[in-house]
Amino acid sequence: MLEKIKITNFRCFKQLELGPFRRFNVIVGPGGSGKTTLLESIFLAGGGSAEIYLRLRRWRGLAGPISIANSRASYESLFRELFYGFNADQGARIELFDSLLGARRLAIGFKGDLEFRISIKEPVGNAFIIEPIVFQWKTSAGSKESTVEVKDGQLSFTGTTDVYPAWMISPTAPENYVQFYSELSKRGDADSINEIFCRTFPQVRGIAIESAAGEFAVFAELAPHGKKIPIGVLSSGMNKYFSILTAIASNPKGVVLIDEIEGGFYYEALPQILKSICDFAEENGVQIIAATHSLELLQNFALAMEGREEDFALLRSIPDQDGPSDIKISRGAAAISAIRQHLEVR
Q: How many domains does the chain have?
A: 2
Taking a C-beta distance cutoff of 8 angstroms, is the pair 106, 45 a contact? yes
Choose the final residue of a domain: 137, 162, 187. Answer: 162
Q: At what angle do helices 332-340 and 295-304 cross, to 10 degrees?
A: 130
Residues 192 and 332 in one domain: yes
Give pLDDT, residue 57. Answer: 85
Residue 18 lies in a domain: no
CA–CA dist 272, 290 (Å, integer): 17
Residues 305 and 277 in one domain: yes
Residue 29 lies in a domain: no
Give pLDDT, residue 61. Answer: 75
Say which residues have a Cβ less than 8 Å from residue 295's Cβ, sequence separation at least 6. 344, 346
Residues 175 and 309 in one domain: yes
pLDDT tens, residue order, the chain (346 aa) = 999 999 999 999 999 999 999 999 999 999 889 999 999 999 999 998 988 988 888 888 776 667 666 667 778 888 989 999 999 888 999 999 999 989 999 999 987 533 333 333 443 334 445 678 999 999 988 899 998 877 766 777 888 888 999 999 988 777 778 999 999 999 999 999 999 999 999 999 999 999 877 888 889 999 888 889 989 888 889 999 999 999 999 999 999 999 999 988 988 889 999 999 999 999 999 999 999 999 899 999 999 999 999 999 999 999 887 789 999 999 999 999 888 887 778 7
CA–CA dist 342, 344 (Å, integer): 6
Residue 33 lies in a domain: no
**Domain containing 298: what range?**
169-199+233-340
CA–CA dist 331, 270 (Å, integer): 22
Give pLDDT, residue 141. Answer: 85
Give pLDDT, residue 64. Answer: 64
Give pLDDT, residue 70. Answer: 62
Choose the final residue of a domain: 146, 162, 178. Answer: 162
Q: Could you tell me which of 213, 208, 210 has the C-alpha nearest to residue 193?
A: 208
Taking a C-beta distance cutoff of 8 angstroms, is the pair 17, 4 a contact? yes
Residue 71 lies in a domain: yes
Residues 54 and 123 in one domain: yes
DSSP type of residue 265 = -
Residues 118 and 266 in one domain: no
Residue 143 lies in a domain: yes
Residue 330 lies in a domain: yes
Cis status of the peptide bond prior to 20, with omega within 30 of 0: yes
Q: Regarding beta strands 24-28 and 287-291, do their DSSP bridges make them parallel or antiparallel, or are they unpaired? A: parallel
Give pLDDT, residue 263. Answer: 87
Chain Cα centroid distance, residue 88: 24
Q: Say what the pTM is.
A: 0.90
Give pLDDT, residue 120. Answer: 37
Residues 244 and 281 in one domain: yes
CA–CA dist 24, 28 (Å, integer): 13
Residues 186 and 329 in one domain: yes
Residues 253 and 269 in one domain: yes
Residues 255 and 310 in one domain: yes
Give pLDDT, residue 310. Answer: 95
Give pLDDT, residue 124. Answer: 37
Chain Cα centroid distance, residue 212: 29
Residue 210 lies in a domain: no
Choose the final residue of a domain: 162, 187, 216. Answer: 162
Q: How far is CA 171 from CA 77, 239, 244, 343, in A?
A: 26, 11, 12, 28
Residues 62 and 107 in one domain: yes
Residues 153 and 195 in one domain: no
CB atoms within 10 A of CB 156: 12
Q: Count CA within 13 A, CB hemisphere, residue 207.
A: 31
Residues 57 and 91 in one domain: yes
Residue 22 lies in a domain: no
CA–CA dist 199, 203 (Å, integer): 9
